[in-house]
Copies of this chain bind each other. A is one copy, B any other.
């Protein structure tokens, strides 16, 4: 969604423990997952979906439709970008 997010935008997306947990998990399992996240976190499905949307809007994760389910994976390039923005502070 957001093509060139600012440092504040990216940080805001990571400014909630649940979203950090989601990103960490996606990085661990490497390839995508989806409803699994709902099982891992103590949150309702709709809430998790909202967090996923925020991460996706910030470009930190991507979601691809894969049959009946949607598959998310972390965008490592965007993470590198974030790291660079902090370094360039």
Q: A residues bordering B, Cβ < 8 Å?
A: 6-8, 11-17, 19-20, 23-24, 27, 79, 82-83, 86-87, 89
Contacts and interface: CB of A to CB of B under 8 A. Distances in A.
Interface centre among A6, A14, A20, A79, by most chain B C-beta atoms within 10 angstroms, is A14
Contacts of A17: 6, 8
Q: Main SS of chain A's interface residues?
A: helix
7 contacts: A6-B20, A8-B16, A8-B17, A8-B19, A8-B20, A14-B15, A27-B89
User: How many copies of this protein are present in the complex?
Assistant: 2
A23 B89 CA distance: 8
A87 B24 CA distance: 11
